Amino acid sequence: MSTKKKFNILISNDDGIFAIGVRTLANTLARAGHQITVVCPDRERSATGHGLTLHQPLRAQQVESIFDDSVIAWSCSGTPADCVKFALSAVLDQKPDFVVSGINHGPNLGTDVLYSGTVSAAMEGTLEGIPSIAMSLASFTAKEFQVAADFALKLVNQLELANAPQPLLLSVNVPPIAAAEIAGVMVTRQGLRRYIENFEKRYDPHGKSYYWLVGEIIEDIPQPEDPNLPLDISTDVQAIRDRYITITPLRYNLTDALTTKFLHSQEFLNLNFN
């Protein structure tokens, strides 16, 4: 009888060490027999992108009584990217088999990934050559994370069999519905999820003004097709709307190949600035 391989998995997030999503994820993977280390921000650090703490010290400490007894957990005063860097350099004796970030309380669809601390934590793993997954529950109000955690377990087991061409960076979004209602799993491309933004002027109890960023989501704005992708690949935004779990492969190299080729073919290189 064959047995499934057990992995060393580093888990982080941007919702903080006390978030229900990371607790559900870590405990689910640990109870399946995987060796789990959790290093998360000590407080909410959503939408911090790939920010790093460079001008003040990081403070970290082990935490107990939050996770399954087999889970080793740390809280860190830094950003999600700080947490993964700290874990890889100061906590773990060897590179983990996977970095899994989340489960985020809210979607990371389309251009959300540019701001997401959840995705940035996973990206930090990929930068170190470690296959990494950013897990998100596509709702800010739903509080049931078990469906997403169960899928993360299945995905980790499946990826062990995959022969990917490079270290993976996957952004996974799970609809906030029961498992029986999910239409399936779909590999997707990024949609364009934009916002009508406004800074509301408010006043504190002392009468001093401050500003609060608010906005309305504009989902799946039409955008040019990517000639490198088949036309039948849906956007993550549309697939979530259709009740699919979305898996969007990302990469940290943001070079625009089409524009690079266009500019390279023009006379820009021949300009004389002297």
For the segment 160-175, what is each residue's pLDDT rounded down to a tens digit? Answer: 766 777 789 999 999 9
Which helix H or strand E contains 121, and what residues bound it? helix 117-127
CA separation for the pair 189, 181 (Å, rounded): 22
- What residues pair up with 9 in beta bridges, in sequence order? 36, 98
- 95, pLDDT greater than 90: yes
- The residue extents of the domains of the chain are 8-190+230-259
DSSP letters, 26-93, are HHHHHHTT-EEEEEEESS--TT-TT----SS---EEEE-SSS-TT-EEEEESS-HHHHHHHIIIII-S
Q: Are 133 and 172 in contact (CB under 8 A)?
A: yes
Highest mean pLDDT among 9-18, 206-215, 227-236: 9-18
The answer as to CATH 3.40.1210.10 being correct for domain 8-190+230-259 is: yes
CA separation for the pair 161, 258 (Å, rounded): 33
pTM for the predicted model, two decimal places: 0.89
Q: Are 19 and 85 in contact (CB under 8 A)?
A: no
- What residues pair up with 244 in beta bridges, in sequence order? 184
105-147 tens-digit pLDDT: 999 998 889 999 999 999 999 999 999 999 999 999 999 999 9
CA separation for the pair 237, 133 (Å, rounded): 18
Output the pLDDT for position 152. Answer: 97
